[in-house]
């Protein structure tokens, strides 16, 4: 049986239907009886899986930020771009607000989500403990999830490749492939987290 | 919004915590587990959604009429609008890219703005709550992909620093367009789909 909170009722966030929490077996989902929203997906060891994927995402995120993302060659000139230059470049060209927005979507949000999840999940999985500040941090991680746009950035990188491909020679760096891996791991990590289980275990964890 | 469906949480004096998903008595004011404020419905949901959507509509004009990218090369300076970029890709037979940019930068923002206005209307009329809730979920899901053009500008500016040969600058539309995307995302977050079901319950109640 799943570890459950003290509340035996569920409410649908989309239509407010109130119903009793069913007991789930491995792989089963809870759909809202009224509006068919997918509310929960129960997988055994969801938090173990999520923490492994998050650690992998963290490594890949570091690699993605410290190695060249793309290299542009035109004639004798060569220019290496690292990820943070997509922020500093905008700032240097007189668009600091745009730079700040790109920084939030591609650097701040993923850092907060990856760092926050590692801080939350590792103590919980290893010894059922929670570190100070875990409750507000968990709220922030959940709130930041839609502002993390790494996959949209990758689509932007592919479009840029096609746009510049005719003017110059572009080669992809290690960072680009790490970034692809980051997206796969982070998406899988976020998809495998059962927030109901996470909150229930945080609540019952030792401090 | 006085009517709730009898089997809804609100009708039973219960609120779903928007942060941690716990169902608690709304009289507690704060969630005992995560300390977030408890509300039956998002506060001032329709007002906020409409205000943010109208701001997005206003900014949509400069976002499309001003250049998003300025390219200076030996062959001269060139300023591209969003639609101009789509046309350029189409003319150079890059059909997949043209379709991606058109979908993300032109179609999704317009459809999202229409969807938000429609949802606000549905929260008043309460017709077809199931279909409208589905529309809300799609609206929330696809909005972020519009940001792709802003990232293209950021990457092009960063990677092209070849001095005199060619230089690329962000245009004024880039910030307007990013604002449109952010505002419509905030509007979708402010919108409370449960209001559609409340309006539907009100419509079903005899002479409510």
- The predicted-structure confidence for B8-47, as pLDDT tens digits, reads as follows 999 999 999 999 889 999 999 999 989 999 999 999 999 9
Q: Which residues lie below 8 Å from residue A105, measured CB to CB, with a gap of 6+?
A: A147, A148, A149, A152, A153, B147
Give me the residues of chain A with pLDDT under 50, please: 1-6
Tell me, yes or no, whether B29 and B125 share the same domain: no
Tell me, yes or no, whether B5 and B63 share the same domain: no
Q: Which CATH number fits the domain that encloses residue B48? A: 1.20.140
Where are the alpha helices (H) located in chain B, listed in sequence order?
Answer: 45-65, 82-91, 95-101, 108-125, 129-142, 148-159, 172-190, 194-204
Tell me, yes or no, whether B138 and B184 share the same domain: yes
Nearest one of A106, A87, A195, A97 to A148, comparing CA atoms: A106
pLDDT category, B2, cuts 50, 70, 90? low
Cβ atoms of residues A150 and A183 within 8 Å: yes
Select from B11, B147, B166 the Cβ nearest to the Cβ of A167.
B166
Residue B164 above 70 pLDDT? Answer: no
Which helix or strand (DSSP H or E) is residue A157 part of?
Answer: helix A150-164
Tell me, yes or no, whether B112 and B151 share the same domain: yes
Q: Between chains, do A163 and B97 touch, taking CB under 8 Å as contact? A: yes
Tell me, yes or no, whether B153 and B178 share the same domain: yes
How many CA within 13 A on the CB side of residue B203? Answer: 14
- Residues 139..158 of A with a Cβ closer than 8 Å to B: which? 139, 142-143, 146, 149, 152-153, 155-157
Q: Between chains, do B10 and A72 touch, taking CB under 8 Å as contact? A: no
Q: How does pLDDT run across B36-73, given as a tens digit for each residue?
A: 999 999 999 999 999 999 999 999 999 999 999 988 87
Tell me, yes or no, whether B100 and B197 share the same domain: yes
Residue B187 above 90 pLDDT? Answer: yes
Report the complex ipTM: 0.90
Tell me, yes or no, whether B173 and B161 share the same domain: yes
Tell me, yes or no, whether B91 and B158 share the same domain: yes
Tell me, yes or no, whether B13 and B109 share the same domain: no
Cβ atoms of residues A202 and B31 within 8 Å: no
Residue B193 touches chain A, beta carbons under 8 Å:
yes
- Chain A residues with CB-CB distance to B197 below 8 A: 15-16, 34-35
pTM of the model: 0.91
Residue B85 above 80 pLDDT? Answer: yes
pLDDT category, B93, cuts 50, 70, 90? confident
Residue B152 touches chain A, beta carbons under 8 Å:
yes
CA distance A91 to chain B (A): 10
CA distance A44 to chain B (A): 20
Which helix or strand (DSSP H or E) is residue A136 part of?
Answer: helix A134-144
Q: Between chains, do B149 and A101 touch, taking CB under 8 Å as contact? A: no
Helix (H, G, I), strand (E, B) or coil at A50: helix
Average pLDDT over residues B145-173: 86
Tell me, yes or no, whether B71 and B29 share the same domain: no
Tell me, yes or no, whether B151 and B184 share the same domain: yes
Select from A16, A93, A195 the Cβ nearest to the Cβ of B10.
A16
Average pLDDT over residues B179-185: 97
In angstroms, rounded to a whole number, what is the distance separating the alpha carbons of residues A166 and A187?
A: 32
Q: Between chains, do B194 and A167 touch, taking CB under 8 Å as contact? A: no
Tell me, yes or no, whether B144 and B194 share the same domain: yes
| A59 or B159, higher pLDDT | A59
> The domain containing residue B14 runs over which residues?
1-40
Residue B111 touches chain A, beta carbons under 8 Å:
no
Q: How does pLDDT run across A69-114, given as a tens digit for each residue?
A: 998 887 777 888 999 999 999 998 889 999 999 999 999 999 999 9
Task: Find the Cα–Cα–Cα–Cα dihedral A98, A103, A108, A109, rounded to 10°.
Answer: 70
Average pLDDT over chain B, rounded to whole? 90
* Total domains in the fold of chain B: 2
């Amino acid at each position: 049986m799943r570890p459950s909170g003290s509340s035996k009722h569920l409410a649908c966030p989309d239509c407010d239907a109130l119903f009793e929490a069913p007991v789930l077996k491995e792989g089963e989902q809870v759909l809202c009886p009224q509006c068919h929203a997918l509310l929960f997906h129960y997988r055994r060891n969801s938090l173990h899986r999520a923490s492994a994927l998050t650690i992998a995402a963290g490594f890949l995120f570091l690699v993605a930020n410290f190695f060249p993302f793309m290299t542009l060659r035109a004639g004798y000139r060569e220019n290496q771009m690292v990820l943070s230059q997509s922020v500093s470049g905008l700032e240097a060209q007189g668009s600091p607000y745009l730079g700040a927005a790109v920084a939030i979507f591609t650097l701040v949000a993923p850092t907060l989500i990856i760092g926050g999840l590692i801080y939350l999940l590792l103590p919980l999985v290893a010894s059922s403990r929670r570190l100070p500040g875990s409750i507000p941090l968990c709220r922030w991680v959940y709130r930041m999830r839609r502002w993390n746009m790494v996959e949209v950035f990758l689509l932007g990188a592919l479009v840029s490749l096609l746009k510049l491909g005719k003017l110059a020679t572009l080669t992809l760096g290690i960072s680009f492939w790490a970034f692809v891996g980051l997206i796969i791991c982070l998406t899988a990590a976020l998809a495998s987290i059962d927030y109901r289980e996470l909150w229930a275990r945080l609540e019952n964890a030792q401090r | 919004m006085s009517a709730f469906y009898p089997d809804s949480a609100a009708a039973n004096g219960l609120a779903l915590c928007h942060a941690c998903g716990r169902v608690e008595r709304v009289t507690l004011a704060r969630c005992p587990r995560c300390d977030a404020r408890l509300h039956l419905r998002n506060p001032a949901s329709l007002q906020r959604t409409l205000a943010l959507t109208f701001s997005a509509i206003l900014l949509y004009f400069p976002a499309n009429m001003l250049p998003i990218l300025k390219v200076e090369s030996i062959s001269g300076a060139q300023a591209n609008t969003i639609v101009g970029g789509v046309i350029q890709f189409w003319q150079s037979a890059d059909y997949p890219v043209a379709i991606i940019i058109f979908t993300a930068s032109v179609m999704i923002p317009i459809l999202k703005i229409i969807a938000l206005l429609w949802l606000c209307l549905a929260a008043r009329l309460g017709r077809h709550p199931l279909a409208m809730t589905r529309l809300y979920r799609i609206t929330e899901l696809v909005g972020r992909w519009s940001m792709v053009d802003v990232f293209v500008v950021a990457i092009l500016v960063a990677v092209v620093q070849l001095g005199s040969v060619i230089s690329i600058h962000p245009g004024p539309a880039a910030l307007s367009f990013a604002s449109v995307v952010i505002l419509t995302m905030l509007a979708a977050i402010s919108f409370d789909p449960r209001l559609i079901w409340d309006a539907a319950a009100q419509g079903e109640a005899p002479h409510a």
